[in-house]
Chains A and B, each alone.
Chain A
Amino acid sequence: ETGVTQTPRHLVMGMTNKKSLKCEQHLGHNAMYWYKQSAKKPLELMFVYNFKEQTENNSVPSRFSPECPNSSHLFLHLHTLQPEDSALYLCASTALADSNEQFFGPGTRLTVL
């Protein structure tokens, strides 16, 4: 248990569906991240939020829409995805000010049909 939880753990959706991924951290951290992990590729940073403000958008297609209502919660809203978007989506958090340790959630395995 890393203190970062993600739901759902598995998600299957059609290309016309709209779904959301949820991440919650119980560590008092101020920065939260979304990563995409595809088979045989390095972890790809998607978005970074610091104190609820988006500080990084790594050229992510607009069919992925992040939301950070507070420093403990992070969402990734999905719509009209493509099969190549199937991957493990990982959320992470870090304190930044106190340390640079980054902690990951267990991930959501997404399959787009």
Chain B
Amino acid sequence: GQQLNQSPQSMFIQEGEDVSMNCTSSSIFNTWLWYKQDPGEGPVLLIALYKAGELTSNGRLTAQFGITRKDSFLNISASIPSDVGIYFCAGRASGTYKYIFGTGTRLKVLA
């Protein structure tokens, strides 16, 4: 079945540093979503991507839909302590209602 590989699994960074994470799929998606989840809460949607090559920003966050449609990237610039959490990617192929989720990137920001 479809699988999503998300990396890195975890990151420890200093406040003010930039962060990059990515997801790769074994098959083509027509939608990529990026979420952040705080402990004990549901994932919160950060960015949605719908076209290959699309680059979308949300404040300090920028995400890209890979040209091959099998990958996506999320960058966080100038990290702050409240960026701490788990970041998930999710992809959806055409003709299905199913979203496939990555394993998450746990981000810790050291002040």
Asked if A113 is at the interface (CB within 8 A of a chain B CB), the reply is no
Chain A residues positioned under 8 Å from B103 (CB to CB): 41-42
Chain B residues positioned under 8 Å from A41 (CB to CB): 103
Which of A6, A31, A103 is the most central at the interface, judged by chain B CB atoms within 10 Å of its CB?
Answer: A103
Q: Of residues 74 to 111 in B, which have CB atoms within 8 Å of A's CB atoms?
A: 88, 90, 92, 97-99, 101-104
B42-73 vs A, CB cutoff 8 Å, 1 = contact: the mask equals 11110010100000000000000000000000
Chain A nearest CB, measured from B95 CB (Å): 12
Task: Report the separation of the CA atoms of residues A111 and B50 in the bound assembly, to the nearest whole angstrom.
Answer: 37
Chain A residues positioned under 8 Å from B14 (CB to CB): none
Cβ-defined contact, B97 with A96, below 8 A: yes
Chain B residues positioned under 8 Å from A96 (CB to CB): 97
Chain A residues positioned under 8 Å from B45 (CB to CB): 2, 101-104
Name B40's closest neighbour in chain A (CB-CB): A109
**Interface Cβ pair total, 8 Å cutoff:** 59
Chain A residues positioned under 8 Å from B7 (CB to CB): none
Chain A residues positioned under 8 Å from B102 (CB to CB): 42
Task: Report the separation of the CA atoms of residues A2 and B65 in the bound assembly, to the nearest whole angstrom.
Answer: 24
State which of A43-51, A61-69, A71-79 sits at the interface with chain B: A43-51
Task: Report the separation of the CA atoms of residues A34 and B50 in the bound assembly, to the nearest whole angstrom.
Answer: 23
Q: Of A45, A55, A90, A94, which contacts B42 at CB under 8 A?
A: A90
Task: Report the separation of the CA atoms of residues A2 and B41 in the bound assembly, to the nearest whole angstrom.
Answer: 11
Asked if B31 is at the interface (CB within 8 A of a chain A CB), the reply is yes
Task: Report the separation of the CA atoms of residues A50 and B98 in the bound assembly, to the nearest whole angstrom.
Answer: 11
A residues whose Cβ falls under 8 Å from a Cβ of B: 2, 4, 6, 31, 33, 41-43, 45, 48, 50, 55-56, 88, 90, 92, 94, 96, 99-107, 109
Sample 22 A-B pairs with CB under 8 A, ordered by A number. Answer: A2-B42, A2-B45, A4-B42, A42-B101, A43-B43, A43-B88, A43-B90, A43-B101, A48-B97, A48-B98, A55-B97, A56-B98, A88-B40, A99-B48, A100-B48, A100-B50, A101-B48, A102-B33, A102-B90, A104-B44, A106-B41, A107-B40
8 A-B pairs closest in CB distance = A104-B42, A100-B31, A43-B101, A106-B42, A107-B42, A48-B97, A42-B103, A101-B48
